[in-house]
Each structure stands twice: as C-alpha cells, then as structure tokens.
Structure 1
Amino acid sequence: MFEDKKMNILPEKGEVYYYPSFFSVEPCDDFYEKLVNKIQWKQEPIWMFGKKVMQPRLTALYGNPSVAYGYSGIKMQPYPWTDFLLQIKEAIEQVADTDFTHVLLNYYRDGKDSMGWHRDNEPELGKNPVIGSVSFGYPRRFQFRLYNDKSKKKELLLEHGSFLLMRGETQHYWEHQIPKSQKVQGARINLTFRKILK
C-alpha cells in the first residue's frame, strides 16, 4: 500500500513524509463519494486581521464528542466518528504511530477555495503535534515556508488517495497553505487527523 522507508521532505527543523498512493483507486473513489454526501459540511466565519470573513472552503469536525476544538476564533463541537472515517483513521495510525482523537475536514469545491498560511500549533495539540493529512479528489498544490525566513519554501502536489504526515518540530518552524488556482478543474477533500489533548 505504501513505501515503508521515506525521506523527510523538509531540509531542516521538522519532519514531513509523503505517501502519494497510500490508498488504492477503488477505495479512494468510494471514500470520496461518502465524504461528499455523508459529512455535515458547514461554511464558518473566522477572524482575519481583525475582521470576520467567511472561510473560502467548507469544513467539519469529527471525533471524540467530549472534546471540542478551536482555531481562528472558531469553537467546533465534533460529530461522532463514522465507520468510513474510522477506517481511514486506523489505516494511517499504523504509519503515524499515533492514536488520533479528531479529524478536521476541508472541502475545496474548486480552485477559488483555499487555505492561507498557518501553523497547526494550538496549545491543545501539544508541544510537537503529529498531523496526518489525507487527500481525495482533484490534486492540489501544498506549500511550506519557513516561518522566520519566508524565502525558504517547499512544494508538492497532494494527489487522490495520498497521505502526508507532519511531525516533530514542523509546526514550530514551518507554515503551510493550499493556494488558490485557476488551473484547478475539480473538487478536493482533505482530512487532517490530530490528537487533541484535554
């Protein structure tokens, strides 16, 4: 299903590993269909530069129902795990060596939908959070840049059925984003699994 030995794609101060075909095509298509139709998607407002704006994508949170999660002024209450989300979670936990408690889902409907530069460094994720990112649908560019030297960048294409694992000091030193693109011809759904500490 994936290569066991992977090279760290970051040149320094963090660990990121990419598995381009973690899931095979048939389950990928099935997962994508279920994600589109069975997830309770919302478009939420967030605070950016002192004003409230609508996020340029749809989102949802699933996981441990007793633990909420917040970012950018949003406080999200999770929906309970579905069978297919648990199936994806259990597959990536074998590689991540982490028990994920929640998954934050993002639905990029077209190239106008995006995610700006940020770090997943909320206190409830712990000192060195492990983030497992799974992608289904149309491939999208995923960019890193060093937080204190924004000239240092890395980019890769997140493909249908791929798994990106971020761990170690990555969230201290590196920002990441999904930029807007006029070349994108389809929708993408991203699942970012994380362990939220009480």
Structure 2
Amino acid sequence: MESPDLLLDGLLHFYPALLEPEQANALYQQLLHEIPWQQGRVFIYGREHIIPRLQAWHGDPGICYTYSGKTLHADPWTPTLQILCQQLNQLTGLQLNAVLCNLYRDGQDCMGWHADDEQELGENPRILSLSLGAERDFALRRKGSSRQSGILPLASGSLLDMQPGMQRHWQHSLPKRARIRQPRINLTFRTIYPLKPVI
C-alpha cells in the first residue's frame, strides 16, 4: 500500500491511486450492476426531500444507521462489497461492518455539507471512502464556518481515510459540477456500534 498524503494536520489520509486504473474500472462496472441502487428521501427541518443521488446500505445482520430523520436497515453484503470490506479490515486492522454506497449519475447529483458524526458511529469514527468512476471534487470546511477551505479531486481508485477527530472538526461535501457527464460510485466503509439505551 502506498504512503498516504497527510492532510488537515493528519486527520485526512489520502491515497490518490490505491487501485490501478484497470482494477478500478472493473470494480466500478461490477458494482454498477451488482448493487440494488435506490433513490431515497430524507427529512430536513420537517420537510421531505428527494436525495440527489442513488444509494444503497449494506452490512452485517441487524446493522442500522439513522441520519436526516431516516433509518436505514442494512441489506446483506453483496459478494464484491463483502470481499472489499474484508480486504480493508485486513489492511487497516479495523472492524468495519457496514458500507454506505452512493451513485452520482452525473454532475447534477451531489452531497451537501455535513459531517459523519451520527451516534451509531461512536465518538471519533474512522471512515474509509473509496471512489470509482468519474472524478469529482471533495470540498472541505471547518465546522462553524461558511467558508470553503479547500477542494480535493477524487479520481477513480483513490481512497480517503478519514481519521478519528475529522468529523468533529470538519465538514465535507460533493458539489455539483455541470461539466461531469459520467457516473461516480463512492463507497464509505464504517463501523456501526449498538446504540446505548436512553435512561
């Protein structure tokens, strides 16, 4: 595994070419047809919105994930996703048990500003994000700020390793890009913890 570029004072480890182009393209084509993509809805400030991308949620049995007023129940692993998760666990020593899959059909599909800081992820989650397909821009800003701090282009086969502490201090987004005509798949592998009962 190549040495990562260390960004955000070490909170973001970036592997620009984790996969060779041929590997990335084969994986992209496989997942494009293997994953049961759906367009979901979320509730924001009490109003329902259609998510501007297609999604799927896979993981170990019983895994659930709640964000923006919507609870996702994990579908069983597809063969390819399960192999990928096992490989990443061996590579990192983590116990990743779920993956959120996003399909951006073109540059009109996007993701707004957010941090992956839901309770199920624990206090300081570490999240691995693999990009396949069209190159898209990953935007960053500090929490509490409305000013964008930087842009990181994510090529096919690249991996972001978001370290503990990043979600506490930073937000990220995937802005629209009208010039992009091709799809992009993003896989964010994570560890989901059982929620503690409220006493």
TM-score relative to the length of structure 2: 0.92
Equivalent position SS for 2:24: helix
- Measured after TM superposition, the shift of residue 91 of structure 1 is 3.0
Equivalent position SS for 1:36: helix
CA contact (8 A) 1:145 1:153 kept: yes
Q: Verify: 1:9 aligned to 2:7, yes or no.
A: yes
Q: Verify: 1:127 aligned to 2:123, yes or no.
A: yes
- Measured after TM superposition, the shift of residue 95 of structure 1 is 4.3
Find the counterpart in structure 2 of residue 51 from structure 1. 47
- Measured after TM superposition, the shift of residue 152 of structure 1 is 5.7
* CA deviations over 1:38-97 (Å, ceiling 9, x no partner): 101111111123311100000000111212111111111111112211222233334433
**Number of aligned residue pairs:** 194
CA distance in 2, matches of 1:151, 1:174: 12
Find the counterpart in structure 1 of residue 16 from structure 2. 20
Equivalent position SS for 1:87: helix
Q: Verify: 1:93 aligned to 2:92, yes or no.
A: no
Find the counterpart in structure 2 of residue 168 from structure 1. 164
CA contact (8 A) 1:100 1:193 kept: yes
Identity within the alignment, %? 37
Structure 1, unaligned runs of 5 or more: none
- Measured after TM superposition, the shift of residue 183 of structure 1 is 1.5
- Aligned CA RMSD, in angstroms, stands at 1.5
Change (3 A) 1:139 1:7: closer
CA contact (8 A) 1:134 1:192 kept: yes
CA contact (8 A) 1:10 1:154 kept: no
* CA deviations over 1:117-161 (Å, ceiling 9, x no partner): 001000110010011000100000001100123336121011101
CA distance in 1, matches of 2:148, 2:22: 37
Equivalent position SS for 2:186: strand
Q: Which moved more, 1:20-29 or 1:36-45?
A: 20-29
Find the counterpart in structure 1 of residue 197 from structure 2. none
Find the counterpart in structure 1 of residue 106 from structure 2. 110
CA contact (8 A) 2:139 2:148 kept: no
Find the counterpart in structure 1 of residue 146 from structure 2. 150
CA distance in 1, matches of 2:138, 2:169: 16
**Residue from 124, 133, 138 that aligns with 1:137:** 133
**Residue from 189, 194, 197 that aligns with 1:193:** 189
Equivalent position SS for 2:149: strand
**Residue from 34, 38, 48 that aligns with 2:34:** 38
Q: Which moved more, 1:169-178 or 1:82-91?
A: 82-91
Equivalent position SS for 2:100: strand
CA distance in 2, matches of 1:183, 1:93: 36
* CA deviations over 1:5-26 (Å, ceiling 9, x no partner): x342114xx6101111101122
CA contact (8 A) 1:65 1:78 kept: yes
Q: Which moved more, 1:116-125 or 1:29-38?
A: 29-38
Structure 2, unaligned runs of 5 or more: 195-199
TM-score relative to the length of structure 1: 0.92
